[in-house]
Structure 1
Amino acid sequence: MKKVRCIVISGYGTNCEVEMAYACKLAGGEVEIVHISELIYGEKSLDNYHFLNFPGGFLDGDDLGAAKAAANRWRFGKIKTTGEPLFDQIMRFIKEGKLILGVCNGFQLMVKLGILPGLRFQYALQLASLTYNDSGRFEDRWVFLKLDPNTPCVFTQGLDKLYLPVRHGEGKFVVQDENVLTAIENNHLAVLKYTHPETEQPTMEYPFNPNGSISAIAGICDPSGRLFGLMPHPEAFLHFTNHPHWTREQLSEEGMGLALFHNAITYIKQNIL
């Protein structure tokens, strides 16, 4: 039986690649952590994988804004051995129906690359962005999340609610104009929204919405549902002992975050292999 081959990108400030790789492994994938320089020098190729993971961290120190320098590297960099633009490998990966997941800094990267939300308006490639939290500080807390039951996102099928940690300074989701937000909402691309724990409804109230994201959006997918980015960290809740109340509550052995990786591996087995 063919194995689902997962690639987790590391380098230049990522710091969640080990947890993300472990999530892929627990879900049944065969996984490699690959430094981006290995792609640039032609030692590895995205063509050989089914599931691309962009982990969290602080790419290039976020010196030009979260993931901006990394987005330029991916968009304009070329493979040393062939001269092929690195971005062409990503576009080929997408056209072949494969999956991409970006978490936190990885989500910021996907948005600033223009592959999320993936809507093609004539006047712009990058239709959205992620910017500084309204609180003006780094937010490190757990959040309640509600999922859109009509989303095409393959990662969240069968799920209703999630409880995951966030840890970011630039997690506020913003759009270029109201038309973009309308398109995201109408196409059910706002996969996750921050919710109030009492009402279980999307909220703009701090700290339940930790960054002030427009329309309480915590994660989005593209129209195919195969590209997904989110600020909360599913790879940080893989086992019940990751939960902040694990000594006081009866919890399932598997953490909620692992379900996203299970769904990804299952989709690839059923639709790509």
Structure 2
Amino acid sequence: MRFGIAVYPGSNCDYDTYHVIRDILKEEVSFIDYRETNIKDFDCIIIPGGFSFGDYLRPGALASHTPLTNAVKDFAKKGGLVIGICNGFQVLTESHLLPGALMPNIHGKFVCKHQYIKVENNETPFTNKCEKGQVLKIPIAHHDGNYFVDEETLKKMEDNGQIIVRYCDKDGNISEKSNPNGSIKNIAGVCNEEKNVFGLMPHPERAAESILGTEDGLFILKSILNSI
């Protein structure tokens, strides 16, 4: 399987992601410059975390108008797999590849810690190695992770199985206390209607080696391999 990692000015999780794909999963991977438009030879595009274009205007806003992101839109429309992590999730919502928006955390602070998330839908290319209801321990690091979507769209998303992971405690309980940023319904990650585009705030690439305290991110990354 061939992965492509999008690189914008200000991306800073690109090398972390590259390391995991190349050295842990042992898969082919390349960086893709934000000015590139030819991505047809890739099986999965990863938009990594960071602060693309310095988060000017809004996180992900400027990156959403680059040649690469326009190519990613076409790639996704043709069924290609796309995963956006943290800032990548913000790029996907700004690009309208995913519904909703990421707003500043409700408490106004940057949050960086290990976080438990619960798998709500394991029938996607990104969660097929998980059990439904499984609790994963994956780090978060963001200031604008407060996911919001209007009630009508949220209802459609829930009916269509687009809510993929929610913030929870270690026992899988979903509550206000286990919500690190104020996201509506504790949402940590969502898919598009076709299930081939996935955005999440937690960082699976930072949870792929035991030395980091958890390898639960591999459930997500290996699901992608399993889907091809």
Give the root-mean-square deviation of aligned CA atoms: 1.7
CA contact (8 A) 1:152 1:223 kept: no
Distance 2:56 2:72 in 1: 24
Does residue 9 (structure 1) correspond to residue 20 (structure 2)? The answer is no
Does residue 197 (structure 1) correspond to residue 170 (structure 2)? The answer is yes
Does residue 158 (structure 1) correspond to residue 129 (structure 2)? The answer is yes
Q: Which residue of 2 aligns with 1:114?
A: 96
CA contact (8 A) 2:8 2:63 kept: no
Identity %: 29
Q: Which residue of 1 aligns with 2:33?
A: 35
Which string of whole-angstrom CA distances, capped at 9 and with x for unpartnered residues, describes residues 68-91 of structure 1? 111123xxx4x8xxxxxx62x324
Bigger fraction of residues in strand:
2
- Partner residue of 1:209 out of 175, 179, 195: 179
Cα drift, residue 93 of structure 1: 1.4
Distance 1:97 1:224 in 2: 8
- Partner residue of 1:261 out of 202, 207, 221: 221
Q: How does 1:1-273 map to 2 (within 5 A)?
A: 4-25=1-22, 26-37=24-35, 39=36, 45-73=38-66, 77=67, 87=70, 89-117=71-99, 128-149=100-121, 151-159=122-130, 160-175=134-149, 177-198=150-171, 200-205=172-177, 208-243=178-213, 255-268=215-228
Q: Which residue of 2 aligns with 1:125?
A: none
Cα drift, residue 225 of structure 1: 1.8
The farther-off stretch of 105-114 and 21-30 is 21-30
1:154 match: secondary structure: coil
Which string of whole-angstrom CA distances, capped at 9 and with x for unpartnered residues, describes residues 144-178 of structure 1? 111114x5421111312210110000000001x21
Cα drift, residue 31 of structure 1: 0.2
CA contact (8 A) 1:153 1:228 kept: no
TM-score (norm 2): 0.92
CA contact (8 A) 1:59 1:70 kept: yes
Distance 2:72 2:50 in 1: 20
Larger radius of gyration: 1
Distance 1:107 1:95 in 2: 17
Which string of whole-angstrom CA distances, capped at 9 and with x for unpartnered residues, describes residues 166-209 of structure 1? 0000000001x2101111111111100001235x222222xx31
CA contact (8 A) 2:117 2:137 kept: yes
Q: How many residues align?
A: 224
Distance 1:163 1:7 in 2: 25
CA contact (8 A) 2:129 2:219 kept: no
The farther-off stretch of 178-187 and 90-99 is 90-99
CA contact (8 A) 2:129 2:222 kept: no
Distance 2:85 2:156 in 1: 22
CA contact (8 A) 1:133 1:212 kept: yes
2:62 match: secondary structure: helix
Q: Which runs of 4+ in 1 moved over 6 A?
A: none
TM-score (norm 1): 0.77
Cα drift, residue 142 of structure 1: 1.0
Q: Which residue of 2 aligns with 1:82?
A: none
